[in-house]
Amino acid sequence: MYKAVIVDDDRLIVRGLSSVVRWGELGCEVVGTAADGQAGIELIRQKRPDILLTDIRMPNVDGLTMAAAVRSEFPRMQIAVLTAYRDFEYAQQAIRLGVCRYLLKPSHMEELEEAVRAMTARLDALPVEREEAEIPEVSAAHGYIVENALAWMRAHCAEHLTLEAVAEHVYVSQWHLSKLLNREMGMGFLELLNGMRIDAARELLRDPGRRIVDVAYDTGFSDVAHFSKTFKKITGRTPGEYRAARMVPKSE
Got the DSSP string for the chain? Answer: -EEEEEE-S-HHHHHHHHHHS-TGGGTEEEEEEESSHHHHHHHHHHH--SEEEE-S--TT--HHHHHHHHHHH-TT-EEEEEES---HHHHHHHHHTTEEEEEESS--HHHHHHHHHHHHHHHHHS-SS-SSS--TTHHHHHHHHHHHHHHHHHHHTTS---HHHHHHHTTS-HHHHHHHHHHHHSS-HHHHHHHHHHHHHHHHTT-TTS-HHHHHHHTT-SSHHHHHHHHHHHHSS-HHHHHHHTPPPPP-
Q: Are residues 17 and 99 in the same domain?
A: yes
Q: Which of 103, 125, 147 is the last residue of a domain?
A: 125
Q: What is the pLDDT of residues 140-171, one digit of tens each?
A: 899 999 999 999 999 999 999 999 999 999 99
What average pLDDT does the structure give for the chain? 89
Q: Which of 132, 103, 133, 130 is nearest to 118 (CA)?
A: 103
What is the domain-level CATH number for residue 117? Answer: 3.40.50.2300
Q: Are residues 94 and 174 in the same domain?
A: no
Please give the backbone phi and psi of residue 53, each rounded to the nearest 5 degrees, phi first.
-110, 120
Identity of the amino acid at 245: A
> What pLDDT score does 133 carry?
52
Q: Are residues 121 and 14 in the same domain?
A: yes
Q: Indicate if the pLDDT at residue 94 is higher than 70.
A: yes
Q: Are residues 182 and 73 in the same domain?
A: no
Q: Which of 100, 125, 150 is the last residue of a domain?
A: 125
Q: Are residues 167 and 116 in the same domain?
A: no
Please give the tally of structural domains in the chain.
2
Please give the backbone phi and psi of residue 72, each rounded to the nearest 5 degrees, phi first.
-75, -45
Q: Are residues 11 and 87 in the same domain?
A: yes
Percent of the chain with pLDDT over 70: 94
Q: Indicate if the pLDDT at residue 252 is higher than 50.
A: no
What is the domain-level CATH number for residue 188? Answer: 1.10.10.60
Q: What is the pLDDT of residues 174-186, one digit of tens each?
A: 999 999 999 999 9
Q: Are residues 115 and 9 in the same domain?
A: yes
Q: Are residues 91 and 162 in the same domain?
A: no
Domain assignment of residue 235, given as a range: 138-245
Average pLDDT value for residue range 213-230: 94
What is the strand order of the sheet 51-54 is part of? Answer: 28-34, 2-7, 51-54, 78-83, 99-104
Confidence of residue 251 (pLDDT cuts 50, 70, 90): very low
> What pLDDT score does 89 carry?
85
Q: What is the pLDDT of residues 95-133, one digit of tens each?
A: 888 899 998 888 888 899 999 999 999 999 887 665 555
Of the candidate ranges 125-134, 170-179, 184-193, 194-203, the one whose mean pLDDT is the lowest: 125-134
Q: Are residues 199 and 88 in the same domain?
A: no
Q: Indicate if the pLDDT at residue 221 is higher than 60.
A: yes
The 10 Å Cβ neighbour count of residue 210 is 13
> What pLDDT score does 136 carry?
62
Q: Are residues 111 and 157 in the same domain?
A: no
- Distance between CA 109 and CA 120 in Å, rounded? 17
CB 58 within 8 A of CB 9: yes
Q: Are residues 8 and 108 in the same domain?
A: yes
Q: Indicate if the pLDDT at residue 247 is higher than 50.
A: yes
Q: Are residues 59 and 100 in the same domain?
A: yes
Q: Rounded to two decimals, what is the model's pTM?
A: 0.83
| 30, part of any domain | yes
